[in-house]
Amino acid sequence: MISARCLTTCDDDEEDNSRVALILGDKPVCGVKALLMAPKIKLSSGYEMPMKGYQCLTAIHCAVETGFRHFDTAFCYENEKEVGEAIRTQIQMGNVSRENIFLTTKLWNTHHDPRDVRRICEKQLEALGFDYIDLYLMHFPVGYKHMCDEILQPMDGNKVQTSDVDYIDTWHAMEELVKLGMVRSIGVSNFNMEQVQRIIQCSSSKPVVNQVEIWPGFMQKDLVDYCRYNGIVVTAYAPLGQPDREMHSPIYFFSEGMRRLVKKYKRTAAQIVLRYLVDYGVVPIPKAGNPLHIKQNLNIFDFQLNEVDTRALRGIKPKDRLVKFDEVKDHTFYPFEREEEREQQPEEFEQEEIPPKRVTIPPAEPAEGEEAEPPVE
């Protein structure tokens, strides 16, 4: 039995970005008064999902000890074994129970053949080391040709080899996983409104979740409204817009308007954006490898943006999507708009309450993983 209660170290100095000052135990340590926890939202399947997720990188122990209970991974991330081992270790340490963990993983595009769905799900359960998956998503509506499980993108020259498997047939095979008790809830990712509607019309169950790209420059209001109307929870990947300090992109994240909000609320730019998205009604799934950023990502439920600032964020000019899957844009089931070129406009946003004096604030650190390393969706 592992006797330690915490695999990350504690320090009161927040400037030390290599450590975090929270653990999950009977008594608070390092001056921390309470463990940060996210509220939950009820899925149409009857299960509850924390409203704040963590897209798994390397710091799983830190995320559990900070208070995260919703973990998002996928077959194509090639880290399910490591994620499972970390969570099981935390369970053995007594820091959390399996019942309090909400684990999401995904069916990859090479396994759309209905005859392959149960087999690969069993393989994923074995890698994770658990008896069931809380939420199993179809990663993308377009299927790829299956050559072997290790080849994620079967190529013919410079072209991805796709399959003609209908995602409806794949969905029906996923429904069987629920009946078998292998997964508790099923959903989709990167599906558009028409594709979600087709599943609803052709199946005995509807997706409980649609995980899509959402950030302040790409809010997908019509899709979010549609899903909300049909009782489908929307989870948001790339919720910050993949900040890159060197490229100063996306502009809104490093703008003077954002710096004013950082000073006003005494929060990082990432915390302000994540709070804005929660209020918008979606469940953000940010990436983070830095323990301080992991803590900050969860610490967004003790403040609220006022209406003026919410309107300012809502006024950010729409931008193009970041994750496009362009390599399969000619497929029948490609879910995104094919005319991707949009007029680019400045992203700086104005607040209605502008201070009379310009205030210089150091740029907030992005909390979506390493600055120079774009997320893998």
To 10 degrees, what angle do helices 307-314 and 269-280 make?
90
Please give the torsion angle defined by the CA atoms of residues 190, 177, 175 and 155, in that order, rounded to the nearest 10 degrees: 40
CA distance 213 to 263: 28
CA distance 252 to 240: 10
The two most distant CA atoms of the chain are separated, in Å, by: 65
CA distance 104 to 55: 9
Peptide bond just before 250 cis, omega within 30 deg: yes
What 3-state DSSP class applies to 168?
helix
Location of structure tokens 């030390």? 16
CA distance 243 to 259: 15
Positions marked catalytic: 77
